[in-house]
Amino acid sequence: MTHEIQNFTFQNPTKILFGRNRIEDIDNEIPKDAKVLVLYGGGSVKKNGAFDRAVKALGNREWDEFSGIEANPTFETLMKAVEKVRAGNFTYLLAIGGGSVIDGTKFVSAASLFTEDPVDLFGWGVGKGLPVQEVVPFGTILTLPATGSEMNSGAVITLVEKKAKVSFRGPKTFPVFSVLEPELTYTLPVRQLVNGLLDTFIHVMENYLTYPVGALLQDRYAESILQTLIEIAPRVIDTNHIDYNDRGTFMWCATNALNGTINLGVPTDWSSHALGHEITLNHGIDHGRTLSIVLPAMMKVRKQQKFDKLVQYGKRVWNLSGSDEEIVDEAIAKTEEFFKSLGAPIRFSDVNLGEDVLQALVDGLTRHKKVKLSEHGDLTPEVAMEVYKEAL
């Protein structure tokens, strides 16, 4: 069967400010009369100076802060920020942090002016899945390369009460600008660097590992991000020798992996993420680490559906040769080896979880209406169980 590149429309409005001393430039991006709410997490941005520099750059603008956005940000915490924005009539939001703070800020941006119940921004069996209405504009200062949230319109939020970790997106929830200063990554602990490398790698895979449609540039672009990550990863996690260019390259890889470029006109498969979110929800495992557990198992269980792309991946990314079958098996082994070399888990047993937890994960997928996943829509709860079992 031959395929062709699917129609696509592409617009990404986020302005990127990359390099040294770019926080200071936010003064040019935020309206002078804006009333700004600065949002951040547990305090890393105070330690590495990003917060103080940002506040200084705000100059005479009126501003206040909202702290305590947790990793895997919760609806419950974020609704407190929504109340603050509404009560204080803030007109601009500034997120300083990783994907969680940026995603949380996206939610606050959309929920603050939403005339319906903010729960209904989410579908997935949680709310009505209504479109985003007006938003409070926001910019971001990225401190953790991983999610690509700094240049996309998606946000993943945990609703504790509803027991769900689900996303929403819309054309209005792109950041207006994002500051990418490689030096802000210097304070990241190895664990978070690894999480970011994994998340970036697997974002590319979700956009790439389906079936070929002849989108040659998108494929090469995806493969070049993967190869770049494989090259820099050992140096990025060596925190005794921090290299500016490596950190800058890592940051730009993460942004490009999920800013809507490599997936243009090609089929995508976000199954590993769907299965991973249930693991984070139930067991608090870091997002990146759920992916390094799920993806190798996904590759094995879905080998036939993804065969052509797996061969291409093996040849081009890992320079493998041999029969197609051999290439595919070795490509999967190489992927696992790469994750292991980063100290990442590749099995449930690596995070001390066993078969007894699997049924609850599959039930979660069903509850969240994730029952026809993959590029073919044929990844049912039964197949999800197979993947989870393969990952034991």
Query: Is the four-CA dihedral 330, 205, 267, 8 of positive or negative sign?
Result: negative
Residues contacting ligand NZQ: total by CB under 6 A: 34
Is residue 130 close enough to count as binding ligand NZQ by CB under 6 A?
no
* Residue from 109, 140, 173, 192 in contact with ligand NZQ (CB under 6 A): 192
Strand partners of residue 165: 158
Task: Please report how close the Cβ of residue 89 comes to ligand NZQ at its closest, in angstroms.
Answer: 27
Is residue 364 close enough to count as binding ligand NZQ by CB under 6 A?
no
Residues contacting Zn ion: total by CB under 5 A: 1
Task: Please report how close the Cβ of residue 291 comes to Zn ion at its closest, in angstroms.
Answer: 6
Binding piece for ligand NZQ, criterion CB under 6 A, among 13-21, 183-191, 229-237, 361-369: 183-191
Task: Please report how close the Cβ of residue 98 comes to ligand NZQ at its closest, in angstroms.
Answer: 2
Are the C-beta atoms of residues 299 and 272 closer than 8 Å to each other?
A: no
Residues 147-176, one symbol each (x = binds ligand NZQ by CB under 6 A, - = not), give xxx--x-xxx--------------------
* Residue from 103, 181, 199, 329 in contact with Zn ion (CB under 5 A): 199
Task: Please report how close the Cβ of residue 109 comes to ligand NZQ at its closest, in angstroms.
Answer: 13
Are the C-beta atoms of residues 46 and 209 closer than 8 Å to each other?
A: no
* Token digits of residue 21: 């001393």
What distance in Å separates the CA atoms of residue 92 and residue 209, rounded to the nearest whole number?
38
Are the C-beta atoms of residues 226 and 204 closer than 8 Å to each other?
A: yes
Residue nearer to Zn ion on the CB measure, 199 or 375: 199
Residue nearer to ligand NZQ on the CB measure, 42 or 137: 42
Contacts to ligand NZQ from residues 283-302, by CB under 6 A: 287
Q: Which residue pairs, CB below 8 angstroms and at least 24 apart, start in 313-319?
A: 313/208, 313/209, 313/223, 313/226, 316/223, 317/223, 317/226, 317/227, 317/230
Which H or E run includes 49? none
Residue nearer to ligand NZQ on the CB measure, 73 or 296: 73
What distance in Å separates the CA atoms of residue 352 and residue 350, rounded to the nearest whole number?
6
Pairing of strands 154-159, 164-169: antiparallel
Contacts to ligand NZQ from residues 98-127, by CB under 6 A: 98-101, 103
What distance in Å separates the CA atoms of residue 346 and residue 295, rounded to the nearest whole number?
8
What DSSP letter does each residue of 202-270 carry, written as one string? Answer: HHHHHHHSS---S-HHHHHHHHHHHHHHHHHHHHHT-TTS--HHHHHHHHHHHHHHTSSSTTTTS----
What DSSP letter does each residue of 316-370 carry, written as one string? Answer: HHH---S-HHHHHHHHHHHHHHHHHHTT---SGGGGT--GGGHHHHHHHHHHTT-
97 binds, among ligand NZQ, Zn ion, none (CB under 5 to 8 A by kind): ligand NZQ
Is residue 198 close enough to count as binding ligand NZQ by CB under 6 A?
no
Task: Please report how close the Cβ of residue 289 comes to Zn ion at its closest, in angstroms.
Answer: 11
Binding piece for ligand NZQ, criterion CB under 6 A, among 180-188, 216-224, 324-332, 365-373: 180-188
Task: Please report how close the Cβ of residue 98 comes to Zn ion at its closest, in angstroms.
Answer: 12
Task: Please report how close the Cβ of residue 181 comes to ligand NZQ at its closest, in angstroms.
Answer: 10
Q: What is the DSSP letter of 130?
A: P
Is residue 38 close enough to count as binding ligand NZQ by CB under 6 A?
no
42 binds, among ligand NZQ, Zn ion, none (CB under 5 to 8 A by kind): ligand NZQ
143 binds, among ligand NZQ, Zn ion, none (CB under 5 to 8 A by kind): ligand NZQ
Q: How many beta carbons lie within 10 A of that of residue 334, not counting itself?
A: 17
What distance in Å separates the CA atoms of residue 133 and residue 138, rounded to the nearest whole number?
15
Residue nearer to ligand NZQ on the CB measure, 72 or 256: 72
Binding piece for ligand NZQ, criterion CB under 6 A, among 184-192, 243-251, 324-332, 350-358: 184-192
Site residues, ligand NZQ (CB under 6 A):
41-45, 48, 71-72, 97-101, 103, 143-144, 146-149, 152, 154-156, 184-185, 187-188, 192, 195, 199, 258, 273, 287
Instruction: List interacting residues with Zn ion (CB under 5 A).
Output: 199
